[in-house]
Amino acid sequence: MSDLETFRAETRAWLDKNCPDSIRTPMPEREMPWGGRNAKYPNPDTKIWMDNMASRGWTAPTWPAEYGGGGLSKEENKVLQEELARIKARPALTSFGLWMLGPALLEFASEEQKKKYIGEIVRGEIRWCQGYSEPGAGSDLAGLQTKAEDKGDHYLVNGQKVWTSYADQCDWIFCLVRTDNSVKHDGISFLLIDMDDPGVEARPIKLISGSSPFCETFLTDVKVPKENLVGELNKGWTIAKRLLEHERSMISGMGMGAGAASMGGMEAVAKENFGTDGERIADPSIRSAIADHKMDQQAFGLTMKRASEQAKAGQGMGAAASMFKYYGTEVNKRRFELLLDVMGTQALGWEGEGFDSKELAVTRSWLRSKGNSIEGGTSEVQLNVIAKRVLGLPTA
């Protein structure tokens, strides 16, 4: 047996023992494994699964083992992912720490910081949120004003962040702060802040989808120890941008993932609602719209696959992250609009009688999907990035 085959056999046996049965079923939103100090586990298996996977570092399979990651090679990770998919295992941990902060820390943080924070992320002990946007600084993120003053042994932070996803449930926040007023991009630093510290307050904001996953975050005279600065003073923008790339590739996955499950049944729902003509959906324009969308989705999936194969072969596709963020989120939004056409009034229920839970979930997900092309940099901003950085079009 080759090493990989051995690895597969061992992995399969281990998963068999360590992945609880309830974890092999579709995951309701309330059982999302976000981890953190305040985590609640309506299904206790969620925590068992997280701990089991974390014990091998497999919540972050390719991160270096010395900091608590799995230390797997790309090939081994592929095997692991295949084996997880085979048993339909839910993710062991979903977190901004895994998707965004961790990779940036591994690249930019000091040895002590990596030792402390990476392990906490891998084990799901600390739940992180992202303190980038401010009321006056969204697309023009570098215009941020939250300031951190040097007070000798600590920084004194004052300002306001906004759209901070899940801030009210998080433990720590990674923040962009202004440490020099005289320059724009070169006056920004990257700071880690414990949200239990005095002066940090998060207030939920209600969204069009009815839920309140994000907050206004106020920082008032917060004392932050100096060792919480990542990278050099005033060099935070580089880290910020790199982290955004990780965020964008995570969000663009939505073109394929999350909502795709509801999509699986779209043809069946259309057949039910519009009748059939032989095998075909009887309404030709709905049929054609569904085919169009499925082709779009397949083509997008192939492009993601091509990018990853080319990256492995050392041929970068260039600013791929922006392209995928733009295209993936737009595909995802179109999917929900189409689902509305297919389902008619049954996709427009808000709550209560007359709609089943899946239908109500579509309504909410449709509304939530509108944010996909705003969060992590808007579609317009992604197109700007492609135009300037990939196509080399000049700036006015």
Partner 1 sequence: MAFVLSEEQTMLRDMAKQFFSEQVPVTNLRKLRDDESDDGFDRDVWKQIVELGFAGILIPEDLGGTGFGPMGIGIVMQEAGRTLAASPLYSTAILGAGMIMAAGSESQKKDLLPQVAAGELLLALAIDEANHHNPLNIAMTATKDGGDFVLNGEKRFVIDGHTADKLIVAARTSGTSGDAQGISTFLVDADTAGVSITRTLMVDTRNAANIAFDNVKIPAVALLGGLDAAYPELENVLDMGRVCLSAEMLGGIETVFDTTLTYLKERKQFDAIIGTFQALQHRAAEMFCEVEICQSVVLDALSALEERRNDIPRAASLAKARLSEASRLITNEGVQMHGGIGMTDAVDVGLFLKRARVQAQMLGDANFHRSRYADLGGY
**255: DSSP letter:** G
Q: Which residues contact 63 (CB under 8 A, 6 or more apart)?
A: 57, 69, 70, 71, 102, 106, 118, 122
CB of 88 to partner 1, least distance (A): 23
CA atoms within 13 A on the CB side of 211: 15
Number of residues in contact with ligand FAD under rule CB under 6 A = 20
The site string for ligand FAD over 76-115 (x = CB under 6 A, - otherwise) reads ----------------------------------------
Burial class (CB in 10 A: 0-12, 13-18, 19+), 155: buried
Q: What are the structure tokens assigned to 233, written together?
A: 């003073």
Burial class (CB in 10 A: 0-12, 13-18, 19+), 65: exposed
Contact set for partner 1, span 313-332 (CB under 8 A): 313, 315, 317, 323, 326-327
Stretch that binds ligand FAD, among 3-11, 255-263, 338-346, 371-379 (CB under 6 A): 371-379
Q: Is 390 in the site for ligand FAD (CB under 6 A)?
A: no
Out of 55, 81, 310, 345, name the contact with partner 1 by CB under 8 A.
310
Q: Which of 45, 31, 49, 55 is nearest to 123 (CA)?
A: 55
247 catalytic per annotation: yes
Out of 165, 209, 234, 238, name the contact with ligand FAD by CB under 6 A.
165
Q: Which of 42, 67, 41, 43 is nearest to 54 (CA)?
A: 67
The site string for partner 1 over 284-303 (x = CB under 8 A, - otherwise) reads ---xx-xxx-xx--xxx-xx
Out of 179, 267, 364, 366, name the contact with partner 1 by CB under 8 A.
267
Cβ pair 233, 189 in contact under 8 A = yes
Q: Which of 175, 280, 283, 154 is nearest to 223 (CA)?
A: 154
Q: Which residues bind ligand FAD (CB under 6 A)?
A: 129-133, 138-139, 163-165, 214, 371, 374-378, 380-381, 384
Q: Which residues bind partner 1 (CB under 8 A)?
A: 267, 270-271, 279-281, 287-288, 290-292, 294-295, 298-300, 302-303, 305-306, 309-310, 312-313, 315, 317, 323, 326-327, 380, 382-384, 386-388, 390-396
